[in-house]
């Protein structure tokens, strides 16, 4: 027998998930990318690929964002800023790593100013490989995230030795 409180909580969660699935707001962070992925992300927003039809919108402030879209290998200067941007986002928050550099450092692996993969700094939900990934791949990445959210089977990957203050969902 459900108590009244639990009942309402379930309803609210359902409504929240429904709303979230239909209006994902993303914030973009360039952690030292070559711009290749960044322009492909912008291309997905514009009329030809038009992710706004899924309710996905790129906007400026991490405070208003659900998803952090990261591009590029993490350079030493960008590392701290990436962490800060992530911390500034309200819960629940998701991370999509776009491009080979975010996954392994890509062609820049081993460079003196490059730290390596994004998941060594912040937990990542979806990886989109490619150098750069096509806009279709970026859309697929978003849809992967939406599918996971819908089924509630979200998995985060984090390799960092010092976990951020985040409690992993």
Partner 1 sequence: MNTEQLLQQAETLLVAWNKESLRPDPTRLDAVITADDLRAATQAIHDANWGYLSAITGLDLGPEAGQMEALYHFCNGSAILTLRVRQSREAKAVVPSIAEIIPPASFFERELQEMLGFTISGLNNNNRLFLPDDWPEEVYPMRTDFKTAQAAPVPGRLADELPEEGVVGGNTFVVPIGPQHPALKEPGHFEFTVDGEIVTGARMRLGYAHRGIEKAAESRNWSQNLYLFERVCGICSHTHALAYSMGVEKLAQVEVPPRAQAIRELVAGLERVHSHLLWLGVAAHEAGFDTLFMYSWRDRETVMSLLEQITGNRVNYSANVLGGVKCEIGPEQAKAVKEGLNYLESRIRHYLEVVTTDVMFLNRTRGIGTISFDEAVKFGLLGPTARASGLVRDVRVEAPYGAYLRFPVSAVTETNGDLEARFVVRLKELLVSCFTMRTVVDNLPEGPLSVRVPRKIPAGEAISRLEAPRGELFYYLKSNGGENPARIHVRTPSLCNWVSVLEKAVGRQLADVPMLIAGMDPCFSCNDRMVTVARSGDRQNWSWEQLRQHGIEYYSR
Task: Summarize as ranges the residues that interact with partner 1 (CB under 8 A).
Answer: 27-40, 42-43, 46-48, 59-63, 72-73, 75-81, 84-85, 87-91, 106-108, 110-114, 131-132, 134, 165
Closest separation in Å from C-beta 60 to partner 1: 3
Cβ closer to partner 1: 111 or 150?
Answer: 111
Alpha carbons 124 and 158: distance in angstroms, whole number:
7
Side-chain-side CA neighbours of 63 within 13 Å: the count stands at 1
Alpha carbon distance 36, 128 (integer Å): 14
Closest CB 2 distance from partner 1, rounded Å: 26
CB nearer to partner 1: pick between 57 and 148:
57
C-beta of 62 vs 145, nearer to partner 1: 62
With CA atoms as reference, report the closest residue to 38 among 24, 53, 58.
58
Compare residues 89 and 145 and give the one whose CB is closer to partner 1.
Answer: 89
The minimum distance between CB 90 and partner 1, in angstroms, equals 4
> Cα separation of 57 and 45, whole Å?
7
**Paired strand residues for 96:** 69, 126
């Amino acid at each position: 027998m459900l108590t009244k409180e639990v009942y309402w909580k379930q309803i609210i969660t359902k409504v929240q998930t429904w709303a979230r699935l239909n209006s994902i707001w993303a914030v973009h962070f360039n952690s030292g990318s070559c711009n290749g992925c960044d322009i492909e992300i912008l291309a997905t927003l514009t009329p030809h690929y038009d992710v706004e039809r899924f309710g996905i919108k790129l906007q400026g402030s991490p405070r208003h964002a659900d998803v952090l879209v990261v591009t590029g290998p993490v350079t030493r200067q960008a590392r701290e800023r990436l962490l800060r941007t992530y911390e500034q986002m309200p819960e629940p928050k998701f991370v999509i790593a776009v491009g080979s550099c975010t996954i392994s450092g890509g062609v820049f692996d081993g460079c003196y100013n490059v730290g390596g993969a994004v998941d060594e700094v912040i937990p990542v939900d979806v990886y989109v490989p490619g150098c750069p990934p096509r806009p279709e791949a970026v859309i697929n990445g978003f849809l992967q995230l939406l599918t996971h959210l819908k089924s509630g089977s979200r998995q985060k990957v984090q390799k960092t030795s010092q976990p951020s203050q985040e409690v992993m969902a």
